[in-house]
Structure 1
Amino acid sequence: MSGVPIDTKPLFTPHMKPVFRPYHIAGIFAFFSWSIACSSLSHADFVEGDAALSSVTPHIPEPLLFDLVRPLGSQKGEMEVNVFTHQYPGKGALEWAPEIEYVFTDGYAIEFELPSENSSLEDYKVALQGTFYATPNALMVHGWQVIAKKNRDAGQYSADALYINGYRLSNAWSTLNMLGARHTGLDGNGKTTVLINNNLFYDYSQRLTYGIELNHEIDPKGQWRYRATPQIHFDFNQNITLQAGLGVSTLNEKKSVEPIFSMRLIYAL
């Protein structure tokens, strides 16, 4: 973390077990209940927007944690801004990132992101995404994404490359999967990690979607770490969507199991 800390007293020590605070669980439960109520009372003529979609056709939801750069198959000129936040309850620090995404030509988009911790900017991040050809009525869509990131303090670089595949299983069920790799330390002393992202979604209504996202990382020694995040997506209107999830993760230095709360607010222009 960069910057001068305001208080040097640790908010979390190895002797403390990270637990969910009551307000985290209460907040998720309240949002869950409110989303169902609003979804059930929605007008029949509500048309779902594309603020939280991973593809225009066949209309597959977008993951909360490993989001896409606008939906696959988006048209030139489309733009999106969103803010992602996540926190490990008990640790105090809030990790968040403002993002802006733009489709510069049909099927191809670029994203700029500024990952931060509390009030400190941590990284500079840019991503490019492309869509492979798919027929208008296809149940499957696929594309690719590449990501470059530079740490602000250490000056270290990393690069990701991923293949994206989505499939519409039925009117309500769909899946999205990614497979790729991340290389860190581009000076020749880095390492390569296998990245896998699996998602299963259920569209409860036009406004409300349930999902579970699994993120896997396999290092050069074959050691596996994961993050599992059940989540809900709620469309306020055709342009604004809120995603929230509460899960567990071992994507930390100690590779220990710890809870994580994540949220993303999306506005599609």
Structure 2
Amino acid sequence: MKNTLIFLAFLFASLNSNAQILKDTITKTVEKPKPLKIHHAEPLYLDLIRDLGARKGEKELNFGMGIDDYKEYMSYSGFMEYEFAVANRLGVEVEVPFKFYQDVGGVETTATPQNRIEGLKVATQYTFLVSEKYQTSMAVGYIQEFEFSSFSSIDHHGKFLEGILYNPIFIVAKKWTPNVHTLLYTGPVFEQHLDSNDINTIGQVNASFHYSFAGGNFIGLETNMEFMKNESSVTFRPQIKQKLSNGLYLGFVTGIPTEFKEKGVSFMTRIIWEP
């Protein structure tokens, strides 16, 4: 009798184990495969709202600091940025940029802007094409930024908002070889001034070329072009991205304008964390 009970217990345990294995096999079989995603090197200065072809649940946290030489004053900028893929190929972003200014040589001028939190930027991006054959991804997006007033204007006039930026964007990226990447990021920026309700239009064309290495490291060149009425500007931004540990990267960017009339060389560093 004792041996019979032991045999039955063993048989029950074996059947239960086999049933669990069968259940796991069926679950894995019916699970949908992850959508195709092509790795494209992402520019560091004007980065994307989320990876092209992002998969649901992917997220990223960015911190950055920069220094700009405006001849008559220095600008110290920074930002905090959170990116999240709410669905496959659909990403959202929230960013808070800020700027502080210092007169050159301690001489105060009227050209020096007031210190401020730049505003609140919210954005979304959808990758509508991922082609494995052509190693190409395309996306559309939209950025809206609420421009805050300077600390001085808020204190003395109670003026909180200065303007609103509306920026639809189009992105196309191609991976030519496992190491060579190109990307085009373009779209108009409509800047509405709330005091006068005037709207300025700025055309943006941003092209980048990167050579990537193992682990997500790369070196590259980002070119930022802006067009406004009878004015235009071009800034070249050589850059490098280095992996520090799993999910943690550090990027360095130098800005070199083609003309040094009002602005000199700039520097920016970006810390990228993918939890």
TM-score bin, normalised by smaller chain: 0.7 to 0.9
**Residue deviations 1:147-200, cap 9 Å, x none?**
111111143101111110001111211101112100011765212111100000
1:249 positional shift = 3.2
- Runs of 5+ in structure 1 lacking a partner? 1-55
Alpha carbons 2:38, 2:53 under 8 Å: kept: no
1:13-52 matched pairs, under 5 angstroms: none
Name the SS for the 2:215 alignment partner.
coil
Aligned Cα root-mean-square deviation (Å): 2.2
Aligned in 2, Cα 1:250/1:120: closer, same or farther, shift over 3 Å?
Answer: farther
User: 2:148 matched to which residue of 1?
Assistant: 152
Equivalent residue for 1:78, pick from 38, 48, 58: 58
Tell me if 1:193 matches 2:202: yes
Report the number of matched residues.
211
User: 1:171 matched to which residue of 2?
Assistant: 178
Aligned in 2, Cα 1:58/1:137: closer, same or farther, shift over 3 Å?
Answer: farther
The normalised TM-score by structure 2 is 0.71
**Residue deviations 1:106-132, cap 9 Å, x none?**
111111111112484221111111101
Aligned in 2, Cα 1:126/1:250: closer, same or farther, shift over 3 Å?
Answer: farther
User: 1:33 matched to which residue of 2?
Assistant: none
Alpha carbons 1:197, 1:216 under 8 Å: kept: yes
Aligned in 2, Cα 1:122/1:257: closer, same or farther, shift over 3 Å?
Answer: closer
1:108-119 matched pairs, under 5 angstroms: 108-118=90-100
Separation in 1, partners of 2:183, 2:220: 11
State the one-letter code of the partner of 2:162. G
Alpha carbons 2:37, 2:54 under 8 Å: kept: no
Structure with larger RCO (C-alpha < 8 A, sep 6+):
1
1:1-269 matched pairs, under 5 angstroms: 57-89=37-69, 91-118=73-100, 120-153=116-149, 154-185=161-192, 189-221=198-230, 223-249=231-257, 256-269=262-275
Q: Decide which structure has greater strand share.
A: 2
State the one-letter code of the partner of 2:80. P
Name the SS for the 1:133 alignment partner.
strand
Name the SS for the 1:185 alignment partner.
strand
1:265 positional shift = 0.3
Alpha carbons 2:184, 2:205 under 8 Å: kept: yes
